């Protein structure tokens, strides 16, 4: 239990139900000035319900509150201010972290219920670009955080392996493709063909009609079309698997759009059973005017299905198979209308699980202020960025620590970690300008800075050569106190990250913790053999545990030396 919990708990007990502990925790704050204490509880809300002046409530409360972790509790105007006993609190915080280890910060409210997380979902026959990075790393981190809160997760890679783009690609391959060239560099050549199609169609609109015809053949099971599609899909998955291995991301399901081809008729039948489907100019739609949205299009006039049909089918399939407590879609914000329509169809159908579906939108990665476009060939390939990041990390290691063991492995951890952290430290709803220089910077608010701080803790602990670190005593210097207060907020930070689907909470927390620890390291001699040695080492060990687990939640490895 953190000291914020303790403070809130003793106030709640004195208030006898006027406010719950959770309501108190939500308003407890840090005093404006350091001399006013460590925690402050404002009494304005109580004044409204108790019909008593807030300063009077604060004065009465302060006289009744006591706890071993607090040196004193006083009132200051309308606030109840708590002054913590730094030695006792530091001892208790470090004891908790060392006893719980990597379980520190865990919660159990998930009760092993399932959360389905749909993320990454690249398009087949197109390269894995920087544009796919956000969904992949945000979704993976959300999954890790959910598991930390006691949920089981089902990680779904809903591959874009169906649609009119395959008609375009088949036409491009038949007109301009070469089998040997495609087999040599499949993704590069398929992208080139895709871009060429969109260049040529500007001057020849017949190509669009030809592409539609070939996609219809594909839907109808034409053998030539299917064989090309299977080839494009297989080569793409080989390339994707290399990226996922580097990012240390794994999935429980690769069911993409094509998986639902034979299930969509059942979906439309089910929606008709609910009297949701109407006809509009030959197409089948679900009217959503009551939700102030345009109709959700299920089939075109030629009978072809659409994204909405597939995503509705996927929603039914996932609920039937996983009985999820939540189903998250980590997809860019440009798809917000699509998901609002999808969820509204299910709500209109009065499916009891419809309110468990949630779109987790995120912003673009921009290049020169513009969205990257596969059609125009304006993409930055993620594999190339990863290779450059690892190479840069390797060069830094050679320059700064040429005697380091396992240089290649550490360079991989640092390079990949730099890319992931650069994304996750930003609010997911914001657009991010692609800058390889910012991504690979090895100081400041970066992944390598956090990893280096972790490696520093490991170096100190190796030099200390203590088999077991005890926590019989605490610390009271100002630099260690800042670190202790940061450690104590880790469990609450995880809660914020989970409830907001916001991994940036963890990334920003780690930066702050590392800054506090590095100030401590710069101002305190840790390895002096005196009566405070074990307490200082307990602090170092606690910091190392929290950093490692924080990085793990973000999907980043923590090298023991750099």
Whether residue 126 has pLDDT greater than 90: no
Quote the pLDDT of residue 283: 93
Contact indicator for 128, 122 with CB cutoff of 8 Å: yes
Whether residue 440 has pLDDT greater than 90: no
> Taking each helix axis from N to C terminus, what angle separates 206-219 and 223-247, rounded to the nearest 10 degrees?
90
> Taking each helix axis from N to C terminus, what angle separates 478-488 and 86-100, rounded to the nearest 10 degrees?
50
Residue 286 inside a domain? The answer is: no
Contact indicator for 535, 523 with CB cutoff of 8 Å: no
Residue 496 inside a domain? The answer is: yes
What is the domain-level CATH number for residue 511? 1.10.730.10
Nearest to 414 by CA among 369, 363, 450, 465: 450
Mean pLDDT of 83-95: 96
Quote the pLDDT of residue 301: 85
Note the pLDDT tens digit of each residue in 491-520: 999 999 999 999 999 999 999 999 999 999
Identify the domain containing residue 433 by its residue range. Answer: 382-554
What is the domain-level CATH number for residue 47? 3.30.1360.70
Q: How confident is the model at residue 319 (pLDDT cuts 50, 70, 90)?
A: very high
Residue 124 inside a domain? The answer is: no
Quote the pLDDT of residue 377: 54
H, E, C per residue of 232-292: HHHHHHHHHHHHHHHHCCCCCECCCHHHHHHHHHHHHHHHHHCCCEEEECCEEEECCHHHC
183 or 274, which is more confident: 274
471 or 148, which is more confident: 148
DSSP 373: B
Q: Of the residues 33, 68, 84, which one is the last residue of a structural domain?
A: 84
* Strand pairing category for 326-329 and 357-359: parallel
Contact indicator for 149, 497 with CB cutoff of 8 Å: no
| CA 479, 485, 489, 491 torsion-angle sign | positive
Q: Of the residues 56, 84, 112, which one is the last residue of a structural domain?
A: 84
CA distances from 274 to 281, 306, 315, 349, 558 (A): 21, 20, 16, 6, 52
Quote the pLDDT of residue 375: 52
Residue 221 inside a domain? The answer is: no
Quote the pLDDT of residue 109: 96
Residue 331 inside a domain? The answer is: no
| Alpha helices (H) along 44-163 | 44-50, 54-64, 86-100, 133-148
Contact indicator for 506, 420 with CB cutoff of 8 Å: no
Provide the mean pLDDT of the chain: 93
| CA 74, 79, 83, 84 torsion-angle sign | positive
Tell me how far apart the alpha carbons of residues 287 and 267 are, in angstroms, rounded to a whole number: 16
Q: How many domains does the chain have?
A: 2
Whether residue 262 has pLDDT greater than 70: yes
Longest alpha-carbon distance in the chain? 86
Note the pLDDT tens digit of each residue in 334-393: 999 999 999 999 999 999 999 999 999 999 888 777 776 555 555 677 888 899 999 999
Write down the residue that tokens 């125009």 correspond to. Answer: 376
Q: How confident is the model at residue 458 (pLDDT cuts 50, 70, 90)?
A: very high
Note the pLDDT tens digit of each residue in 390-430: 999 999 899 989 999 999 999 999 999 999 999 999 999 99
Mean pLDDT of 249-262: 95
Which residues, including other chains, have CB under 8 Å from residue 29's CB and lie 6 or more apart? 39, 40, 42
What is the number of other CB atoms lying within 10 angstroms of the CB of residue 206?
Answer: 8
Q: Of the residues 54, 84, 114, which one is the last residue of a structural domain?
A: 84
Note the pLDDT tens digit of each residue in 20-66: 999 999 899 999 898 999 999 999 999 999 999 999 999 999 999 99
Q: How confident is the model at residue 264 (pLDDT cuts 50, 70, 90)?
A: very high
Quote the pLDDT of residue 369: 74
Tell me how far apart the alpha carbons of residues 449 and 513 are, in angstroms, rounded to a whole number: 11
Q: How confident is the model at residue 302 (pLDDT cuts 50, 70, 90)?
A: confident
Whether residue 145 has pLDDT greater than 80: yes
Contact indicator for 67, 6 with CB cutoff of 8 Å: yes
Tell me how far apart the alpha carbons of residues 504 and 82 are, in angstroms, rounded to a whole number: 30
Give, rounded to a whole angstrom, the gap between the first and last alpha carbons of the chain.
34
To which H or E segment does residue 156 belong? strand 152-156
Residue 309 inside a domain? The answer is: no
Nearest to 315 by CA among 263, 275, 237: 263
Q: How confident is the model at residue 95 (pLDDT cuts 50, 70, 90)?
A: very high
Note the pLDDT tens digit of each residue in 212-236: 999 989 988 999 999 999 999 998 8
To which H or E segment does residue 439 belong? helix 436-439
Q: What percentage of residues in the chain have a pLDDT greater than 90?
A: 82
Contact indicator for 526, 39 with CB cutoff of 8 Å: no
Residue 89, CB half-sphere, CA atoms under 13 Å: how many? 28
Quote the pLDDT of residue 471: 86
Mean pLDDT of 133-145: 97
Residue 416 inside a domain? The answer is: yes
Q: What percentage of residues in the chain have a pLDDT greater than 70?
A: 99
Residue 269 inside a domain? The answer is: no
Whether residue 242 has pLDDT greater than 60: yes
Tell me how far apart the alpha carbons of residues 468 and 470 are, in angstroms, rounded to a whole number: 6
User: Of 156-160, 378-382, 387-391, 436-440, which one has max mean pLDDT?
Assistant: 156-160
Look up residue 364 and give its two tokens. 């673009």
* Strand pairing category for 370-371 and 365-367: antiparallel
Query: Which residues does residue 72 pair with via DSSP β-bridges, in sequence order?
Result: 83
CA distances from 202 to 147, 193, 205, 211 (A): 49, 15, 7, 14
């Amino acid at each position: 239990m953190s000291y914020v919990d303790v403070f809130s708990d003793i106030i709640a007990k004195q208030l006898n139900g006027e406010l719950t502990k959770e309501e108190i925790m939500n308003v407890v704050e840090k005093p404006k000035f350091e001399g006013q204490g460590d925690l402050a509880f404002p009494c304005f809300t109580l004044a409204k319900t108790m019909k008593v002046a807030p300063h009077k409530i604060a004065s009465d409360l302060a006289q009744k509150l006591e706890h071993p972790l607090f040196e004193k509790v006083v009132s200051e105007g309308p606030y109840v201010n708590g002054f913590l006993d730094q030695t006792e609190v530091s001892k208790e915080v470090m004891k908790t972290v060392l006893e719980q280890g990597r379980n520190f910060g865990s919660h159990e409210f998930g009760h092993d219920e399932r959360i389905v997380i749909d993320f990454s979902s690249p398009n087949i026959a197109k390269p894995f670009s920087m544009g796919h990075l956000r969904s992949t790393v945000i979704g993976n981190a959300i999954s890790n955080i959910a598991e930390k809160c006691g949920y089981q997760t089902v990680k779904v890679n809903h591959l874009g392996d169906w649609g009119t783009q395959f008609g375009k690609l088949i036409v491009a391959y038949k007109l301009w493709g070469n089998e040997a060239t495609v087999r040599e560099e499949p993704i590069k050549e398929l992208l080139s063909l895709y871009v060429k199609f969109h260049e040529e169609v500007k001057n020849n609109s017949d190509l669009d009609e030809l592409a539609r015809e070939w996609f219809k053949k594909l839907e109808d099971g034409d053998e030539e079309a299917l064989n090309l599609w299977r080839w494009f899909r297989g080569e793409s998955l080989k390339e994707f698997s290399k990226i996922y291995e580097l990012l240390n991301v794994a999935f429980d399901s690769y069911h993409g759009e094509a998986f639902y081809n034979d299930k969509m008729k059942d979906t439309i039948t089910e929606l008709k059973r609910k009297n949701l489907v109407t006809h509009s100019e030959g197409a089948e739609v679900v009217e959503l005017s009551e939700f102030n949205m345009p109709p959700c299009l299920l089939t075109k006039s030629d009978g072809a299905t659409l994204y909405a049909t597939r995503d509705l089918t996927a929603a039914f399939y996932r609920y039937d198979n996983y009985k999820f407590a939540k189903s998250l879609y980590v997809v860019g914000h440009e798809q917000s209308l699509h998901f609002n329509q999808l969820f509204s169809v299910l709500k209109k159908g009065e499916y009891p699980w419809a309110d468990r579906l949630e779109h987790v939108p995120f912003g673009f990665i921009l290049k020169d202020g513009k969205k990257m476009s596969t059609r125009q060939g304006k993409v930055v390939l993620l594999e190339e960025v990863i290779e450059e990041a690892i190479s840069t990390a390797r060069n830094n290691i050679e320059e700064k620590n040429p005697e380091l063991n396992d240089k290649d492995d550490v360079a991989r951890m640092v390079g990949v970690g730099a890319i992931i952290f650069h994304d996750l430290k930003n609010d997911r709803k914001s657009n991010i300008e692609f800058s390889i220089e910012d991504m690979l910077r090895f100081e400041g608010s970066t992944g390598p800075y956090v990893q280096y701080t972790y490696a520093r803790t490991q170096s100190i602990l190796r030099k200390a050569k203590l088999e077991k670190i005890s926590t019989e005593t605490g610390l009271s210097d100002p630099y260690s106190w800042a670190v202790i207060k940061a450690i104590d907020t880790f469990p609450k930070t995880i809660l914020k990250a989970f409830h907001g689907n916001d991994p940036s909470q963890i990334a920003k927390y780690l930066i702050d913790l590392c800054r506090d620890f590095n100030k401590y390291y710069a101002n305190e001699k840790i390895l002096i053999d005196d009566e405070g040695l074990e307490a200082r080492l307990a602090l170092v060990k606690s910091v190392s545990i929290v950093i490692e687990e924080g990085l793990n939640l973000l999907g980043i490895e923590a090298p023991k030396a750099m």
